[in-house]
Amino acid sequence: SLDFDLVVVGSGFFGLTIAERAASDGHRVIVIDRRDHIGGNAYSHRDPDTGIEVHNYGAHLFHTSNRTVWEYVNRFTSFTSYQHRVHTNHHGVVYPLPINLGTINQFFASAHSPEEARRLIAEQASEFTIADARNLEEKAIALIGRPLYEAFIRDYTAKQWQTDPTELPAEVISRLPVRYTYDSRYFNDAFEGLPVDGYTAWIERMADHPLIEVRLGTDFFDESQPINKAAVVGTLPVVYTGPVDRYFDYAAGPLGWRTLDFTSEVVPVPDFQGTPVMNYADADVPYTRIHEFRHFHPEREEYPKDRTIIMREYSRFAEADDEPYYPVNTPDDRSKLLQYREMQASQPDVLFGGRLGTYQYLDMHMAIGSALTQYANKVAPMLSGSPSA
């Protein structure tokens, strides 16, 4: 028989939080992941050449206003005082984001007060009303006016979606934040920072428990290895954080995702762009942004002074073999998702969780918060009959 009380499929933050909670309650947990590393998309590694920490799946910024989550994650890592800020290059000029009074005054070469800027944007936004907007472009103009939309939103959105914004549904954006102050902090959360020793050290500490065994390079649908769907479902409780459509063999059809392509490069200069993230707002630049990883940890004195690592990010629709990153979430996707949710009723011993298991974008703090709640409400009761309970 299998010497475990719980199977966790996927070692991202959702799966590891469940595993850590179950192990500290005395249950024996096996975590499998088909990748050759733990941590899901939050995984990072030190570049062997420069020692700079590279976030393999795109820049990961930790931020939360949830005190329970903040206290929980602080058991495994301490955080730096990093605060995220983003800039964007439009027609060869660099502006601060999210759009704020600094962006507006730089763009219009003006010195508007908050009230004057509000009036200006309200007047420019009167071209369409939000209720009448027939597509993303009209909704964006209704929110921030045509000049700011055309400079900062139109081409960037087209690159993200590989679709002209007049062809995208208005619902893709609910709001476009404009700040009528010079505050350019990207997140508004009460707690923010980056893990002092990096993401992987944090993630490894969550998995470092005598009752947790991690098996990498192990796909839940590979029947040649002992922990697979056919062998364990119905025998042991399972927490599944892989794609929900894959679990049901795509019976209702594949759900749509966007994916990202990353290309990194070591550049022989001390500082490439002076900031961690630079967006490229215009259509003539094929990538959406450049990350420069040294700037996430200005406190790390060991980083080299003569080289830096940059990573360009490109966005496109995912094909079958691509990593699913952001749900496309068309009406067709939503109706497929409802069918998959109905199919889940036939799997009472399986909890579908996390980003892929629920088909929704989750920040790290949301995945961890959701796992803490689901552990208490659903997983702990499933485990109450297990030998070590």
Report, as residue numbers or ranges, the catalytic residues. 175, 179, 258, 289, 313, 361, 363
Q: Which of 9, 143, 351, 383 binds ligand FAD (CB under 6 A)?
A: 9
Q: Is 180 near ligand FAD (CB under 6 A)?
A: no
CB within 8 Å of 66: residues ≥ 6 apart: 365, 369
Q: Which C-beta is closer to Na ion: that of 297 or that of 336?
A: 297
CB 270 within 8 A of CB 290: no
CA distance 206 to 39: 10
Q: Is 340 near ligand FAD (CB under 6 A)?
A: no
DSSP-assigned letters across all residues of 110-160 = ----HHHHHHHHHHHHTTS-TTT--SHHHHHHHHH-HHHIIIIIHHHHHHH
Q: Is 121 near ligand FAD (CB under 6 A)?
A: no
Q: How far is the CB of 112 from Na ion (least distance, A)?
A: 31
Q: Which C-beta is closer to ligand FAD: that of 136 or that of 277?
A: 277
Residue reference for tokens 């029947």: 223
Contact segment (CB under 6 A) with ligand FAD among 10-18, 193-201, 202-210, 302-310 equals: 10-18
Q: Is 244 helix (H, G, I), strand (E, B) or coil?
A: helix
Among positions 246-265, residues that touch ligand FAD (CB under 6 A) are 260
Q: Is 189 near ligand FAD (CB under 6 A)?
A: no
Residue 322: Cβ-neighbour burial (10 angstroms; 0-12, 13-18, 19+):
middle
Report the length, in residues, of the chain: 389
Q: How far is the CB of 367 from ligand FAD (least distance, A)?
A: 3
Q: Is 165 near ligand FAD (CB under 6 A)?
A: no
Q: How far is the CB of 366 from ligand FAD (least distance, A)?
A: 7
Candidates 85, 76, 64, 78; CA nearest to 364 is 64
42 binds, among Na ion, ligand FAD, none (CB under 5 to 8 A by kind): ligand FAD
Q: How far is the CB of 183 from Na ion (least distance, A)?
A: 20
Q: How far is the CB of 60 from Na ion (least distance, A)?
A: 6
Residue 269: Cβ-neighbour burial (10 angstroms; 0-12, 13-18, 19+):
exposed
Q: Is 367 near ligand FAD (CB under 6 A)?
A: yes
x-marked contacts with ligand FAD along 18-37 as a string, rule CB under 6 A:
--------------xxxx--
**In the complex, which residue's CB is closest to Na ion?**
59
Q: Is 362 near ligand FAD (CB under 6 A)?
A: yes
364 binds, among ligand FAD, Na ion, none (CB under 5 to 8 A by kind): ligand FAD
Q: How far is the CB of 58 from Na ion (least distance, A)?
A: 5
Six-digit token pair at 121? 């944007």
Residue 117 phi/psi, 5° resolution?
-65, -40
Sign of CA dihedral 32, 34, 37, 40: negative
CB 223 within 8 A of CB 99: no
Among positions 36-95, residues that touch ligand FAD (CB under 6 A) are 40-42, 57-62
Sheet (strand 6-9) strand order:
212-215, 29-32, 6-9, 238-240, 350-352
Q: Is 161 near ligand FAD (CB under 6 A)?
A: no
Interface residues toward Na ion, by CB under 5 A: 59
What dihedral do alpha carbons 12, 15, 21, 22 form, nearest 10°?
-140
13 binds, among Na ion, ligand FAD, none (CB under 5 to 8 A by kind): ligand FAD
Binding site for ligand FAD (CB under 6 A): 9-15, 32-35, 40-42, 57-62, 219-221, 241-242, 260, 325, 354-356, 362-365, 367
